[in-house]
Amino acid sequence: MAKQNPKKDVVVIGLGWTGAILSMELAQEGLEILAPECGDDRNTVSDFQYPDIIDELKYGIRYKLMQKPSKFTLTVRRSMDEIARPYRHLGSFLPSDGVGSAGVHWNGQNWRPQKVEYRLRSYVEETFGADVIPEGMTIQDWSITYEEQEPYFDQFEKVAGISGKVGNLNGEIIESGNPFEAPRSSEYPLPPLPHTYDAELFRQAAKAKGLHPFPRPAGNASKAYTPMACSSNPAISAASASGSVASTIPSPHRRPAFWTR
């Protein structure tokens, strides 16, 4: 007999960044949420704690945090006349599952879009002429602007504990940051990661050529970080105290009115 679960207000399918943030926002509105997740259930502790999480064979080689190709996979062919075959061993790209999903093993590069990317079609037309865009090419302007999204980038960076250096603070250019970025309303919540030797050599060489090297905005915590109760949603808890692993795991688990299956 089919098991009947009590009715909830909302069902959110899948608990990656998207599902987890959405769930937190909805839970804060007082709604009851059921979140079925087809991969493993996970918690910051014990699933991401030292030393188990730096088991290279388990995670780096055997891809414990990724989707299992024996459960679900894609077929790939390199040309139209090849037979498409199942992707049996992950390598060139790494789809994920489980609570946190791709957000627990992303590289943590946290770029914001450039302003011009919001109006790419207009930009190309203005700069190169309307006739450079071939018919059928789907290049579009977005329906929103950078300014409308800026507060949410700011919020996300504080939720995820992004390390970096501001280069454009409300229009004021700051030397050590990225001078090409769109204006930011505040500094990153964490200072930039220290330069490794190779990065430092690169920085010096670029600087000597008159270029503008800057530290990359990173999802790796440069210091221990507890997400601030930012304006409306402390949605995600950042987990990595050592700074060596970019493990941020969404944690709606710890809220009442939340169930995962």
Partner 1 sequence: MTPSRRLTPRPQDEALTALEAGKVGLPPQLRDFFYFLLQNTKEGYFADPKYGGNHGMQAWVHIGFPGAHGSYAEWVNNYNADYPLSPVSISGERA
| Contact string 13-52 vs partner 1 (x = CB under 8 A) | -------------------------------------xxx
Distances (CA, A) of 140 to 27, 118, 133, 136: 34, 8, 11, 11
- Residue with CB nearest ligand FAD? 14
Of the pair 94, 132, the CB lying nearest ligand FAD is at 94
Distance of CA 229 to the CA centre of its chain: 19
Backbone torsion region of residue 176, taken as left when φ is above 0, otherwise alpha when ψ lies between -120 and 50, otherwise beta: alpha
Of the pair 104, 245, the CB lying nearest partner 1 is at 245
Please choose which of ligand FAD, partner 1, none residue 211 contacts, taking the beta carbon within 5 to 8 angstroms, the exact cut-off set by kind: none
If one asks whether residue 86 binds ligand FAD (CB under 6 A), the answer comes out as no
Contact, 24 vs 235, CB < 8 A? yes
Which region, judged by CB under 8 A, interacts with partner 1, from 22-30, 103-111, 210-218, 241-249? 241-249
Please choose which of ligand FAD, partner 1, none residue 37 contacts, taking the beta carbon within 5 to 8 angstroms, the exact cut-off set by kind: ligand FAD
Burial-class residue 50 by CB neighbours within 10 Å (0-12, 13-18, 19+): exposed
Q: Where are the alpha helices (DSSP H) in the chain?
A: 17-28, 44-47, 120-128, 146-160, 197-208
If one asks whether residue 109 binds ligand FAD (CB under 6 A), the answer comes out as yes
Print burial letters for 62-73: b (CB count within 10 Å at least 16), e (below 16): ebbbbbeeeeeb
Give Cβ neighbours of residue 60 (< 8 Å, ≥ 6 apart): none
Of the pair 51, 171, the CB lying nearest partner 1 is at 51
If one asks whether residue 200 binds partner 1 (CB under 8 A), the answer comes out as yes
Please choose which of partner 1, ligand FAD, none residue 101 contacts, taking the beta carbon within 5 to 8 angstroms, the exact cut-off set by kind: ligand FAD
If one asks whether residue 215 binds ligand FAD (CB under 6 A), the answer comes out as no
Print burial letters for 154-163: b (CB count within 10 Å at least 16), e (below 16): bbbbbbbbbb
Least distance (Å) from ligand FAD to the CB of residue 110? Answer: 6
Give Cβ neighbours of residue 92 (< 8 Å, ≥ 6 apart): none
Calpha distance 56→54 (Å, rounded): 6
Least distance (Å) from ligand FAD to the CB of residue 200? Answer: 21
How many other C-beta atoms are found inside a 10 Å radius of the C-beta of residue 100? Answer: 30
Pick out residues in 37-66 that bind ligand FAD (CB under 6 A): 37-39
Out of 23, 44, 108, 253, point to the residue binding ligand FAD (CB under 6 A). 108
Of the pair 162, 166, the CB lying nearest ligand FAD is at 162
Q: Are strands 258-260 and 33-35 parallel, antiparallel or unpaired?
A: parallel
If one asks whether residue 69 binds partner 1 (CB under 8 A), the answer comes out as no
Binding residues for partner 1, per CB under 8 A?
Answer: 50-52, 54-57, 61, 194-197, 200, 242-244
Binding residues for ligand FAD, per CB under 6 A?
Answer: 13-19, 36-39, 94, 96-98, 101-103, 105-110
